[in-house]
Amino acid sequence: MIGLVALVVVFGMRKPAPIGHWDNADGQDRFLRAHRTAFAVLPTPAETIDVRTDFGFVRVYRFASAGAGTTGGGNLPLLLLPGRASATPVWADNVPELLRIGNVYTVGLSIGGWTAVNLALHRPDHIASMTVVDPVYVFADMPLGTIVRSIPAALPWLPGSWRDSFNSYTAGGVPVGDEPVADMIEAGMQHYRLRLPQPTRISKKRLGRLDLPVLAIIAGKSVMRDPQAAVETARRAWTSRCVRPKACSVEPAD
């Protein structure tokens, strides 16, 4: 009886993970299986590093570039940040070409772009330049219609087809069934519980403080924000302080 009481007390006083956690071991295993399948098409990493941070461990893969140093960038690294519920395999189609680049800049996809911009605002010392690919909560708010469509996809007990439907919607309508990367993302959406608050929009004033070269790629048909509003925000934030206006043009991508 004493042991049972002690167990109840310990369970009641336990502190959940500060960032998030897997809902169960089976869900984590499902994500890892999908991750391994999607990862198989990537080049073999030269090194796997687990970095301890204040928020837990971060898994980092280093892919060696045989051509580094031939394009003027030396052996400086290129850091890729994935989006929500995703991981390294989302960059599988890009890594082989990017390994030919020697320059240093951050690339962020979706919420990874939001993370990259915040990194550049708070810790810019080791960043030479930055590229953000269709980032969310950076240049414009997410449309109400997309938010509404995301709600069923975020409920883990609903069928996986609902999450596949939302992922297809955000990807321009392309089918995502039987795609290893899509399976990985769907598993992450279903089984990983975030505990951090929803990201907030980065203000135009803060964007104007970025003091490094930035390439912002804004999809012209994106459903994650109003593309034209995003372009206008970027233009107002940066071109007014640009020394060479032609080098600071901001245009939506088709």
> What per-residue confidence (pLDDT) applies to 29?
92
Tell me: pLDDT of 105 over 80.
Answer: no
Q: pTM to 2 decimals?
A: 0.70
d(CA 72, CA 129): 14
What's the rounded Cα separation, in Å, for the pair 89 and 34?
10
pLDDT tens-digit readout, 12-66: 334 455 577 788 899 889 889 989 998 998 888 888 888 888 777 788 888 877 6
Listed in sequence order, the residues at least 6 apart from 83 whose beta carbon sits closer than 8 Å to its beta carbon are 90, 109, 110, 111, 112
CB of 67 closer than 8 Å to CB of 100: yes
Q: What value does the mean pLDDT of the chain take?
A: 75
CB 183 within 8 A of CB 35: no
194-204, pLDDT tens digit by residue? 776 677 888 88
Q: What is the rounded distance in angstroms from the CA atom of residue 202 to the CA atom of residue 23? A: 30
Calpha distance 191→174 (Å, rounded)? 24
